[in-house]
Structure 1
Amino acid sequence: MTVLPYIFVLFGAILWGTTGTAQTFLPDSAHPFIISAGRSASGGLFLLIIMVFLKKIKFRSWPWKHTLYAALCISLFQLLFFSSVRLTGVAIASVVAIGSAPVFSGLIEWVFLKMRPTKVWGISTGLAIIGCMFLFITKGEVSINPLGILYSLVAGIIFALYTMTSKYLLQKEEAISIVAMTFSLSALLLTPFYFIFDVSWLKDVGNIGIIFYLGLATTSVAYVLYGWGLRKIPASSALTLSLAEPTTAALLGVIVVGEILSATSWVGIGLLLGSIAILTFGSKSASRPTVKEGEVSV
């Protein structure tokens, strides 16, 4: 098994890790729902225009049902995640949301798809959970808001469902086309929020630049990389690798935003990095049954 798909997922997750930090540069009046809508629109529509121009999308035969599922999942995930960042900070929101996703995915694969987790996945995920606990138990200045934690946990479940739905779609279409269609539909679903919340802050060029960064870098590029990797590896493994996101977010939260993490939190970051290394390189010698076409239905 080549290591390249794991590297793709890893780099995609690192780009995701910059999302929460980028959001902190937006004004307080920037509602998380508008940020989500703008991110989906700038990321999805940009790719959609390119894919339509290249005639890579066949609308008549497109798997609309599962694409709508994926769009609903990613829309809800963004709404919950950005809301959680506002309530409990970049580091904790990222750790809880993405840290819980591989556990939920592994359980879903095991219970519903009868895919028993490998030892490598079990060890790496176990280390990741311990790492998340160390990151969570902080005596620094990171606030822990119960509602924010709840948002993050639900976001973790939804992201696991998004990943499994994408896994099915990747058996049908190319990763770039899937990201284009999924986020364009997400942008459409989130459009009503433009008429509900304040959008005056979008008049600032700097704020628009941040939205475009969120759309192009953390959506277009990141999710395409994630899709390329996800095509070749199990969903639960991809989600464990995505723990590079909270690791990146935690580091950026300290370096850029000024959040303070305790010594135990740094131990947690080390454990997360170790879990990623074990899964990436340990999976080269491990084998696991792949999902047959049509087997996943979310």
Structure 2
Amino acid sequence: MEKTASTSHALKGSFAIVMASFLWGTTGTAAQFAPEISPLAIGAFAMGIGGVLLCVSARKSLFKDTRILFLKPLTFLFGSACVAIYPLAFYSSMRLSGVAIGTVVSIASAPLFAALLEYVLSKKPVSLKWFISFVFGAMGIGLLAMGKSQSMLTLAASQHDQVLGVILGLTAGLTYAGYSWAAKQHIDAGANSQSAMAGLFGCAALVLLPSLWFTGQNLFANTVHTSVSLYMAVVPMYLGYLLFGYGLRTTEASKATLITLIEPLVATLFAIFIIGEVFKPVGWVGMTLVCFCLLIQSIKLPSAFEGTRHKATT
């Protein structure tokens, strides 16, 4: 009975992360409606306001769990710094190298960085199921990028911008994995999932929101800009990270970031059906592989494989 309940909680956690990834997948399409807004401004506003909303909604549990969060001050500061850097790197990467490449590099690199952080900092071995899922997911994301129409690739102004965009995408992947790992550490130490996410995001907001004095001139220039800014802050950031925090209660950071490979899949589908992008057949193969990656995460490996993995890690 206890094992059944545990499996049920794990499935709910994975589903919550899938829903969060779906919401995050809408950000690229939403940003296309306001290209005049600086990527630094949209990232700082969305993550900063999202952090404030998380703190307000989790104020009771956050006050109660403050002591737990500060038991690991370096982990807390590391996670907060990652939250502050992530949106700036992510949205700048998409602006410099194009939405397709920026999203693919940022999201596809996160599971690898998360597994490395867990291995180096938490001494957790990489499971066979994770490795198999990562291979299919990485192949799928690569084919998704190849499936984008060539016209999208011309959005990058120069080869230098393209390279810089990829570097920023890798930075985004590392920081995304970093704050996922930090949040998981606090949750495992006994903090409520909302408290863990709210604490990290609230601390990051202290840096992000003041930066809007220099970058946020166009955030509310017209109705479209205002709608896009508020949507990004409330739906993908606030609601998305509530769901992500809930999922981290029963999901390792490496697995959680692997599941979020659904984000570029969702972003691509929105681009096709809303923006009207042309998509090559190879891209649909990529979508299938990403779905297969998620399917592997939702099933249990045969006992023979599990036994092999157990012997390898003992």
Q: What TM-score range do you get, normalising by the shorter chain?
A: 0.7 to 0.9
Q: 2-side partners of 1:56 and 1:104: how far apart?
A: 28
Distance 1:268 1:35, change over 3 A: same
Amino acid at match of 1:134: L
1:156 counterpart = 2:150: no
1:45 corresponds in structure 2 to: 52
For the 8 Å contact 2:43–2:88, the answer to whether it is kept is yes
Distance 1:176 1:26, change over 3 A: same
2:226 corresponds in structure 1 to: 208
Amino acid at match of 2:286: G
Distance 1:209 1:68, change over 3 A: farther
Deviation at 1:60, TM superposition (A): 5.6
1:68 corresponds in structure 2 to: 77
Deviation string for 1:259-293 (max 9, x for gaps)? 3332212211111111011112237986999xxxx
Distance 1:139 1:51, change over 3 A: closer
- Structure 1 vs Structure 2: percent identity of aligned residues? 30
Amino acid at match of 1:189: V
CA RMSD across the alignment: 2.4
TM-score normalised per structure 1: 0.87
2:152 corresponds in structure 1 to: 142
SS of equivalent to 1:248: helix
SS of equivalent to 2:152: coil
Q: Would you say how many aligned residue pairs link Structure 1 and Structure 2?
A: 287
1:57 corresponds in structure 2 to: 63
Instruction: List runs of 5+ in structure 2 lacking aligned partners.
Output: 1-6, 157-161
For the 8 Å contact 1:90–1:250, the answer to whether it is kept is no
Deviation at 1:55, TM superposition (A): 6.1
SS of equivalent to 1:219: helix
For the 8 Å contact 2:112–2:254, the answer to whether it is kept is yes
Deviation string for 1:115-139 (max 9, x for gaps)? 2222211111110111122123346
* Residue from 31, 54, 63 that aligns with 2:38: 31
* Residue from 113, 118, 123 that aligns with 1:109: 118
Matches within 5 A, 1:1-298: 1-2=7-8, 3-28=11-36, 30-52=37-59, 54=60, 56-58=62-64, 61=67, 63-64=69-70, 65=73, 66-138=75-147, 140=149, 141-143=151-153, 145-171=162-188, 172-282=190-300
Instruction: List runs of 5+ in structure 1 lacking aligned partners.
Output: 290-298
Amino acid at match of 2:187: L
Q: 1-side partners of 2:66 and 2:180: how far apart?
A: 24
Of stretches 135-144 and 267-276 in structure 1, the one that deviates more from structure 2 is 135-144
Q: 1-side partners of 2:148 and 2:53: how far apart?
A: 42
Q: 1-side partners of 2:129 and 2:40: how far apart?
A: 38
SS of equivalent to 1:116: coil
TM-score normalised per structure 2: 0.83
Deviation string for 1:48-104 (max 9, x for gaps)? 22333x465247625242333222101211001101121233332222111111112
For the 8 Å contact 2:20–2:239, the answer to whether it is kept is yes
Structure that is richer in helix per residue: 2
